[in-house]
Structure 1
Amino acid sequence: MSRHGDKPRRNFLRHTLALAAATLLVPVSRPAAAKGNVIDVRSKGARGDGSGDDTAAIQAAIDALPASGGTVRIPAGNYMVDASRAINLRSNMRLEMAPDAQLTALPNALKRYHIIKIWDADNVQIVGGRIVGERDQHQAGEGEWGYGINITASTNVTVTGTHVSGCWGDGFLISAKGRGPGMEMASDITLQSVVATNNRRQGLSLGPCQRVRILDSTFSDTQGTKPQSGIDFEPMGQGQVSDVLVQGCTLTGNKGCGLEIHRNVTGLVIRQCTIRDNSGYGILAVDMDNLWVDANTIASNGMNGITLGGHTSDVKITGNTLSSNSTRYLHRALKTLVSGRGGGDSHKNDLRIDDSTSNVHVSGNTFSS
């Protein structure tokens, strides 16, 4: 099924090929600084006993690295962190956490906090470990901005194999500082084999950023305060998100959507993901452009498997398997939001397309009966 003429189709295919090339060429972060510069946090007094505040000791290890950078190692243990101060990473460093190393936020009453901050930094790696928020011990009821890992206005950042859970807000945030011409955007960011689960607001939020890869990762069981989605692209009026690849990921059990995408997003590929058992939409895209949804399994979501709304344009939906979606479908409520066309009326629970969208190409998908 195609909703464009020959000339728009040619332009659309050119845009799609350019998008695919751009996402495949997103660079992998360069190695962090010389391995000879290695500091163990225990040498600075960190105990990892699950009771004392280890924030200052961990920060002292980071601050002791030379200007050329190096590696800070966190061995096995439970390290308590004052999230009002955060662990502040710097340029040209690698934070290497043992599989049994855990950074746990101390209980607080803050509306906003950060367990790890990567702000205004370049060439940073985080490897392994667990980050645990304090949502179950939070001492107030307000706010929704307690972050596990906050990557803002930074470039060439890689997070690999890190597990983030129990945050008052989002497991991960990738965003910019400021807005308008002077905005400092996050760019060249890779999340690979990470897990964000049981966070309160989102598994991952993206504000203005460019050239981002999210690979082989899991975003699950987000619940507590809206939107409660696995991944939320929400730059809105602050700036633009562009050139993002989400590939090989699992988005499941979120109380909101698997993925939701809002205005000021362009150039997004969602490929070979499993998106299932979310209470909202599998994928919701509103007022964005240049989207390719390819070879995903999208099943048993509470609302439509895929919904394209608003003035979303230049979309390819190809080779997906969509089944048993709209398990909590409310036809009359949705009718006013997304009256539209999908892969035929019999497939409307799996795919709905607002009449105001344009240049939507649908082919090679398998739908439930």
Structure 2
Amino acid sequence: MILNTKDFGAVGDSVTDDTAAIQATIDAAAAAGGGEVVLAAGTYIVSGGEEPSDGCLMLKSNVTLSGAGMGETVIKLADGSDTKVTGIVRSAYGEETHDFGMKNLTLDGNRDATTGKVDGWFNGYIPGSDGKDSNVTLDSVEIKDCSGYGFDPHEQTVNMVIKNSVSHGNGLDGFVADYLSDSVFENNIAYNNDRHGFNVVTSTHDFTLSNNVAYGNGSTGIVVQRGSENIPSPANITITGGAVYGNGAEGVLIKLSSQVSVSGLDIHDNGSAGVRIYGSSGVDVFDNTLSNNSLGAPVPEIIIQSYDDTSGVSGKYFNGSD
């Protein structure tokens, strides 16, 4: 089933608030068992709900939101928005949403004309619970100018694909994988985000980053990490192909993780080491090209660093010379 948001009153004129009309189309598709919700070319203004978890638009199981192309169909947060928006487009909190996604459009967080933390895409169930979102596909989606995260799939999501997409100008990370499994991010670009380009965290496992590019981000290009929480580390992570350059910190950082492979990347002109491995095990780094890294600090191209659970960072580096 294909439903057009214009038939439900959406205008897409950069002025009218189209939140209710687009949501009505999504709800109608879900009630019919699923379908494709089409947004023609235009700029559709949306606004957040009363709670951060309301987001602006709530996708449902078996529903795909489809535009006319990145930069052609734009869903933009309204000027003057002053509330926290955890997902301009998102799935429902505490519901297991499946077989849904978005393609061929842009999400614009309108960062310069809004206040409050705003994330572009958000999905997930409840942190620490057994439920999950599953079978999620985002294809040819641009997310820009959000004060928070660009793409932020969360605990927990199974079988997610993000491909051919772009995230830039966001206040935190371009792409996050927060407790994903059996999932792939491929052929994506993260640039000019204030923090990391790609951030793989919180027990994510059996996950692949393939042929992605991260450049000009404020901190690290690609991070695989676990914080100090007593949770399983990210594991069985494959990073293959693509390029990482011009980032403010490391090109690639592997922190408190296990069974990670990094291969086929062109890593150059980053502010710190090309690759840093910190407190991790079972890490393979091979067939990469590293050059002209450590622009902002006198450190090796590759750092292997131990971690002391009692004292924190040991300060000892292995650079192949001792």
TM-score when normalising by structure 1? 0.74
Structure 1 CA distance, aligned partners of 2:114 and 2:65?
27
1:150 correspondence with 2:122? yes
2-structure distance, mates of 1:138, 1:74: 24
Per-residue CA deviations over 1:167-201 (Å, capped at 9, x if unaligned) read 1101101111xxxxxxxx21100001000011111
1:286 & 1:165 partners in 2: Cα distance? Answer: 27
Distance 2:14 2:90 in 1: 21
Task: Show the counterpart of 1:43.
Answer: 7
For 1:110 and 1:53, the matched residues in 2 are separated by 16
Q: Which one has the bigger strand percentage? A: 2
Aligned to 1:18: none
Following TM superposition, where does structure 1 have runs of at least 4 consecutive aligned residues deviating by more than 3 angstroms?
none
Structure with greater helix percent: 1
Percent identity among equivalent residues? 24
SS in 1 for 2:197: strand
Task: Tell me, in whole angstroms, the C-alpha distance in 2 between the residues paired with 1:81 and 1:112.
Answer: 11
Shift of 1:208: 1.5
Q: Following TM superposition, by how much is the alpha carbon of 1:330 offset from its aligned partner in structure 2, in angstroms?
A: 4.8
Q: Which has the higher contact order (CA 8 A, sep 6+)?
A: 1
Cα displacement (A) at 1:139: 3.2
Residue 253 of structure 1 corresponds to which residue in structure 2? 216
Match of 2:237 in 1: 268
Counterpart of 1:353, as a letter, is I
Counterpart of 2:41 in structure 1 is 76
When the two structures are aligned, how many residues end up with a matched partner? 283
Is residue 73 of structure 2 the alignment partner of residue 108 of structure 1?
no
Matched, 1:58 2:25: no
Supply the AA of the counterpart residue of 1:317: V
User: Where does the alignment leave 5 or more consecutive residues of structure 1 unmatched?
Assistant: 1-36, 177-184, 332-347, 358-369
Structure 2 segments unaligned to the other structure (5+ residues): 50-54, 126-132, 227-232, 309-322
Partner deviation per Cα, 1:331-356 (whole Å, 9 max, x = no partner) = 5xxxxxxxxxxxxxxxx2x1111145
- Give the Å deviation of 1:163: 0.7
Residues 1:169 and 2:148 are matched in the alignment: yes
Q: Which amino acid aligns with 1:55?
A: T
User: What is residue 131 of structure 1 aligned with on the other side?
Assistant: 107
Are positions 1:298 and 2:263 aligned together? no
Q: Flag the structure with larger Rg.
A: 1
* Alignment partner, residue 118 of structure 1: 91
Q: Residue 58 of structure 2 is aligned with which of 82, 88, 96?
A: 88
> What's the secondary structure of 2:282's corresponding residue?
strand
Q: Indicate which of 202, 206, 214 corresponds to 1:243.
A: 206
In the alignment, the residues of structure 2 paired with residue 246 and residue 205 of structure 1 have an alpha-carbon distance, to the nearest angstrom, of: 11
Q: CA deviation at 1:286?
A: 1.2
Which shows bigger deviation, 131-140 or 97-106? 131-140
Aligned to 2:287: 319
1:354 aligns with 2:313: no
How far residue 261 of structure 1 moved from its aligned partner, in angstroms, is 1.8
Does structure 1 retain, via aligned residues, the 8 Å contact 2:56–2:85?
A: no
Alpha-carbon distance in structure 2 between the residues aligned to 1:127 and 1:174:
16
Aligned mates of 2:186, 2:293 — CA distance in 1? 24
**Cα separation, 2, equivalents of 1:307 and 1:92:** 41
Q: CA deviation at 1:110?
A: 2.1
